Amino acid sequence: MATGQRRSSMRERFREQVREDVKAVALEQLAEGGAQTISLNAIAKQLGVSGPALYRYYANRDELLNELVIDAYHDLRDALARAAAGSAHVRRPEQRMRELAHAYRQWAREHPHRYELLFRPPFPGYDAHAEPIAEAASTLMLPVLGVLDGNEDDDVQYVVRVWSRMHGIVSLELGGAYTAMHIDADALYTDEIQTITERYHRKP
């Protein structure tokens, strides 16, 4: 009945709550020491339950990491969508492109380990990564396609190339390559985006 369904959903909700708690602690560990330091044991200890209890909620460690990947992908996608929506009123497409590129890099800098998680599969034989990445890349670049004023198929490769350039800089920046070389990542990224928008401007 109604109460029965409600109580059943209560259980479901509790289960979902625990899963969220686990992921929250996992994100803390991720932020502190990277993906390798995420430990189901440590998470359980921090949550006050003991050891194998978490295996009622996640089949294994990889499943948890997988959820973190998917969440991160959703998060980045939403951040880009917000940036695109926020600059929808801006007339000049170069400016919209700049804001989108800025949002991309900003998210990566705010969540460096999650960004790495996105584009660097932490699993040995990782199948579940391909599909999210595919969907990620497609949906991720929708705002860019929008900035490009709705050209269709042929521009996909161009969009991917734009994405690759943004990712290249962000990835090297997060890896510490720029600081090690004493290179101003801000200026580098700004210049690169400037070049990209100029090129776009030139290319009808």
Partner DNA sequence: TCTCTTTTGTTATATCTTCTAACATCGTGG
Partner DNA sequence: CCACGATGTTAGAAGATATAACAAAAGAGA
Q: What is the 3-state secondary structure (H, E, C) of the chain?
A: CHHHHHHHHHHHHHHHHHHHHHHHHHHHHHHHHCHHHCCHHHHHHHHCCCHHHHHHCCCCHHHHHHHHHHHHHHHHHHHHHHHHHHCCCCCCHHHHHHHHHHHHHHHHHHCHHHHHHHHCCCCCCCCCCHHHHHHHHHHHCHHHHHHCCCCCCCHHHHHHHHHHHHHHHHHHHHCCHHHHHCCCHHHHHHHHHHHHHHHHHHCC
Q: Residue 13 interacts with DNA (CB under 7 A)?
A: no
Q: Provide the minimum distance between the beta carbon of 120 and DNA in the complex, in angstroms, as a whole number.
A: 19
Q: Residue 118 interacts with DNA (CB under 7 A)?
A: no
Helices 2-33 and 112-119, packing angle to 10 deg: 100
Q: Residue 124 interacts with DNA (CB under 7 A)?
A: no
2 binds, among DNA, a second copy, none (CB under 5 to 8 A by kind): none
Q: Residue 31 interacts with a second copy (CB under 8 A)?
A: no
Give whichever of 40 and 196 is closer to DNA, judged by the CB atom: 40
Q: Residue 37 interacts with a second copy (CB under 8 A)?
A: yes
188 binds, among a second copy, DNA, none (CB under 5 to 8 A by kind): a second copy
- Counting residues that bind a second copy (by CB under 8 A) gives 47
14 binds, among DNA, a second copy, none (CB under 5 to 8 A by kind): DNA
Q: Are 166 and 97 in contact (CB under 8 A)?
A: no
46 binds, among a second copy, DNA, none (CB under 5 to 8 A by kind): none
Chain residues binding DNA by CB under 7 A are 3-4, 7-8, 10-11, 14-15, 18, 38-42, 49-53, 55-57, 59-62
Chain residues binding a second copy by CB under 8 A are 33-34, 36-37, 116, 119-125, 129-131, 133-134, 136-138, 156-157, 160-161, 163-169, 171-172, 175-181, 183, 187-188, 191-192, 195, 199
